[in-house]
Amino acid sequence: MTKQTHAFQAEVKQILHLVTHSLYSNKEIFLRELVSNASDACDKLRFEALDNNALYEDQPNLEVRVLFDAEAKTITIRDNGIGMSAEEAAAHLGTIAKSGTREFMAKLEGDQKKDANLIGQFGVGFYSGFIVADRITVETRRAGAPETEGVRWSSEGTGEYELETITRATRGTDVILHLRDEETEFLSTWKLKSIISKYSDHISLPILMQKEEWDQETSKQVKQDDWETVNKAAALWARSKSDITDTEYQDFYKQISYDQEAPLAYTHNRVEGRSEYTQLLYIPKKAPFDLWNRDKRGGVKLYVKRVFIMDDAEALMPVYLRFVKGVIDSADLPLNVSRELLQESRDVKAIREGSTKRVLGMLESLADSESADDKAKYLAFWTEFGAVLKEGIGEDFANRERLAKLFRFASTQADEGVSFADYVARMKDCQDKIYVIAADSLAAAKASPQLEIFKKKGIEVLLLVDRVDEWMLSHLYEFEGKELQSVAKGAVDLDKLLDDDEKKAAEAVAEGFKPTLDKLKDVLKDRAKDVRVTTRLVDSPACLVVDEGDMSGHLARMLKQAGQ
């Protein structure tokens, strides 16, 4: 075939226009996209070669090479993958076959305001090369095709491309970017290496670059004949669990979290089914300084088929698990997924639900473990992150029971570590509610006069002294059918807790105090809703309580402090 000129499909023209005009601020992604295509091409060869081993020709080692020529101002991304026939080059590099892309375009064009934002996060694959290049030449030969059936595709990224037949000895593809004059910063080993390690470290194929050495005479870096692998070339999470040591898991955690300490726990799973993904999730030992910033993005990185997509993909984890670090690698999501699209994706929803369950499972296995070591680990976790986990009660309705089981409190019987289940197991026969009191501090809670009758009767009361506890109580009404009752609210129904004699005595006292009560009500009529004789006090003469539906004294004080 002699050189022929073809027009791009209309959508390609639009994409090219959008890409070159809108993606400029994030131009280095061209390398991620082209390396990812090269890696896909190798995956495809590996797959086709399952049935036809001859496709490997005499090159069984799949690899990607990135080279540049400072004088010619070119960067070449070379792979020995599947390659393309002339028809494939025309179809794949001249049209957009995927329907998803069309929808995405429609969306981009429909909503002008969002354009810049959406396109900024839209990896546009092959065409992103035109951000930095004013001409791209692709030289390729399909694996298994004769040398004479090589193809050269070339375009300036405007309206058309050229296609011609060439002779090409090696299978696979060279994508040659002829850089614009102002993009020569990319003609540097250091620059290219740093982009590769940022985006493509976990591509499981080796990415090779030519070694360089400093030449004293010319004061220049001079390229050597040997090549070195510049990426890590192995995605830890993609390897099988049985091949990974504990130290490797810990090193990887330190690398992604910048935490010096080892993690408290981790979980690594490959999930198959409607949604296919791998998760490697860690719980840190110590809370970061900005744990309380709910706007802070989570610590989970998103990969699609081992290609890095984004850091802190908050859609992958609920906010109350924002302390979790790790990687999720999806086999279903498109590489060009944006944060906006993540929020809407059903695959992402499935991933979030699955990952939440995994994290809760990890915590449960520590909390419920027979081993004292694990239990201590769980308490340490609770001290660091308990208050954040409590947010889940209002946020994650589906998991509220599991969450409530993980909660730990102080009580009148132990200063820490009391679960609802512990409490319920110690409940008295006459008792049908879980009694709680919220206060600013453990000391204040313990000194509360409202506890007197409970102490006397030997009934345990949970002491809630976390800032979020009051808020939590407004979302959590019961545990396993037992109502949560604040002892500082309303007329706590204590009748069931009293024996007959005590009841009689109480009635007699109430009768005797009637005149006093009437006087008090009169004096306090503007300042108290009601004045009652109570059985809840043993030593103190009086205490303040709030009405059932009202804000508790503790919450009122907190809001006042916050200036509300």
Chain contacts with ligand ADP (rule: CB under 6 A): 33, 37-38, 40-41, 79, 81-84, 92-93, 125-126, 173, 335
CA 511 to chain centre: 63
Strand partners, 154: 137, 162
Cross-sheet strand order for the sheet of 478-479: 410-411, 462-464, 433-438, 482-486, 478-479
Longest dimension (CA), the chain: 114
**First-last CA distance in the chain:** 78
Residue 41 binding target from Mg ion, ligand ADP, none, CB below 5 to 8 Å by type: ligand ADP
| Structure-token pair, residue 181 | 């004059």
Closest approach, Cβ 128 to Mg ion, in A, equals 9
19 is in an annotated binding site: no
98 is in an annotated binding site: yes
124 is in an annotated binding site: yes
Q: Which is nearer to ligand ADP, 29 or 453 (CB)?
A: 29
Q: Which is nearer to ligand ADP, 84 or 315 (CB)?
A: 84
**Strand 64-69 with 207-215, pairing:** parallel
Closest approach, Cβ 46 to ligand ADP, in A, equals 13
123 is in an annotated binding site: yes
Closest approach, Cβ 40 to ligand ADP, in A, equals 6
125 is in an annotated binding site: yes
Contact 152, 6 (CB under 8 A): no
Rounded distance, CA 541 to CA 524, Å? 16
Closest approach, Cβ 196 to ligand ADP, in A, equals 16
**Angle at which helices 10-22 and 99-110 cross, to 10°:** 60
Q: Which is nearer to ligand ADP, 83 or 326 (CB)?
A: 83
Closest approach, Cβ 125 to Mg ion, in A, equals 4
121 is in an annotated binding site: yes
37 is in an annotated binding site: yes
100 is in an annotated binding site: yes
Q: Which is nearer to ligand ADP, 337 or 545 (CB)?
A: 337
> What b-and-e string marks burial along 437-450, b requiring 16 or more CB atoms within 10 Å of the CB?
bbbeeeeebbebbb
Residue 173 binding target from ligand ADP, Mg ion, none, CB below 5 to 8 Å by type: ligand ADP
Write phi, then psi, for 99 (nearest 5 degrees). -65, -35
Residue 82 binding target from ligand ADP, Mg ion, none, CB below 5 to 8 Å by type: ligand ADP
496 is in an annotated binding site: no
Q: Which is nearer to Mg ion, 30 or 420 (CB)?
A: 30
Q: Which is nearer to ligand ADP, 30 or 423 (CB)?
A: 30
Q: Which is nearer to ligand ADP, 76 or 269 (CB)?
A: 76
In the complex, residue closest to ligand ADP by CB: 125
**Among 117, 115, 132, which Cα is nearest to 33's?**
132
Burial of 193: CB neighbours in 10 Å, binned 0-12, 13-18, 19+: middle
Residue 434 binding target from Mg ion, ligand ADP, none, CB below 5 to 8 Å by type: none
Residue 129 binding target from Mg ion, ligand ADP, none, CB below 5 to 8 Å by type: none
549 is in an annotated binding site: no
Closest approach, Cβ 211 to ligand ADP, in A, equals 24
Rounded distance, CA 374 to CA 334, Å? 40
Q: Which is nearer to ligand ADP, 82 or 281 (CB)?
A: 82
Rounded distance, CA 25 to CA 47, Å? 36
In the complex, residue closest to Mg ion by CB: 125
| Structure-token pair, residue 238 | 């993609």
Contact 351, 333 (CB under 8 A): no
Q: Which residues define the annotated binding site for ATP?
A: 33, 37, 79, 84, 98-100, 121-126, 173, 339
Binding residues: 33, 37, 79, 84, 98-100, 121-126, 173, 339
